[in-house]
Homo-oligomer: A and B are copies of this chain.
Amino acid sequence: MNGQDIPARVASAAGAIETLRRRAPRIHCLTNTVAQAFTANVLLACGATPSMTVASDEVLSFTDRADGVLINLGTLDEDRKKAMRLSAARCRETARPFVVDPVKCDISAQRRAFATELLPFRPAAIRMNADEASSLEASLEGEMPCRVVTGRTDRILCGETCLSVANGHPWLTQITAAGCAEGALIAALMPVAGDPVLAALAALLWFNIAAEEAAARTLEKAAGPGTFQPVLIDCLHAMDAARIMEKARVT
């Protein structure tokens, strides 16, 4: 993309944080049991309203009340698959944005197949690491959702757009569910940011700059990844648009 666009995009992403707080979107998370509590706390700290029910007989009621949906394939089971199919189809019908996080689809063929099955419902974005992205490459070719590939540097790929976000801290890989919660934050920004790239950019900057601040606060007390986790929630809660613009490292 044109490099001159970047400061404008960062400014828009920073603004999206304030919009999210003002609108308090409801986000329904079909996510794994390991990540549920941390994900809910991240969304609450950021100003969104999470719900987490997985039962297939209730998922449409919750989808219909939500502004955005997260479909995370961790601890996948038959009940989850059924609920995810129903919710994705309803999102497609009602033009609600949903985000797919195909956790560890590189390890399980069943999960890879299920991730592929969700693509025709047109997720607004897919969040994955490099291994997961490789394993889904063939399936993703025809489809064109916004792809968020996380790693030491995160990339957002969408049509002609390719942004790199260098913010973050290694401790994010030493606590469970950080990536899963980040996926939920992308889903929470979808209904407020105006477009998928901005939503993904806002989520990555918010989460990763908060992680940098939390690590700095924690390290000055000679602490480690355990203390880092609640402080990360504090920093997500305290983030503002000015700090996003000051600290963003986007190319």
Contacts of A237 in B (CB 8 A): 174, 224-226
Across the two chains, which residue of chain B brings its CB closest to A103? B53
Interface size, chain A (Cβ < 8 Å): 54
**Shortest Cβ distance from residue A212 to the other chain B in the assembled complex, whole angstroms:** 15
Interfacial residues of chain A within 16-61, with CB under 8 A of chain B in the complex: 32-38, 40-41, 44-45, 50-55, 57-58, 61
B40–A53 CB distance below 8 A: no
**Which of A88-96, A108-116, A142-150 contacts its partner?**
A108-116
Q: Are B58 and A111 in contact (CB under 8 A)?
A: yes
Contact check: which of B37, B38, B58, B175 meets A76 at CB < 8 Å? B58
Q: Are B233 and A230 in contact (CB under 8 A)?
A: no
Please pick, from B37, B76, B227, the residue contacting A35 in the complex, using a CB distance under 8 A.
Answer: B37
Bound Cα distance A227, B232 (Å): 9
Question: With A and B bound together, what is the CA distance between A236 and B110 in angstroms?
Answer: 35
Contacts of A50 in B (CB 8 A): 176
How long is the Cα–Cα vector from A61 to B44 in the complex, in angstroms?
35
A5 within 8 A of B: no
Interchain CB contact under 8 A, A226 and B41 = yes
Q: Are B226 and A109 in contact (CB under 8 A)?
A: no
Enumerate chain B residues within 8 angstroms of A177, measured Cβ to Cβ: 37, 40
User: Is A107 part of the binding interface, using a Cβ–Cβ cutoff of 8 Å?
Assistant: yes
Considering only CB atoms, which chain B residue lies closest to A32 in the complex?
B52
Instruction: Judge whether B226 and A45 touch: CB under 8 Å.
Output: yes
Known: A58-B108, A110-B58. A52 touches B37 (CB 8 A): no
8 A Cβ contacts from A214-240 to B: 223-227, 229-238
The reply to whether the CB of A134 lies closer than 8 angstroms to some CB of chain B is no
The answer to whether A79 has its CB under 8 Å from any CB of chain B is yes
- Cα separation A33 to B76 with both chains bound (whole Å): 13
Residue A75 CB within 8 A of the other chain: yes
The reply to whether B76 and A109 form a contact with Cβ atoms under 8 Å apart is no
Are the CB atoms of B229 and A224 closer together than 8 Å? no
9 A-B residue pairs with CB within 8 Å: A33-B52, A34-B40, A41-B225, A45-B224, A45-B226, A52-B75, A53-B108, A55-B110, A226-B232
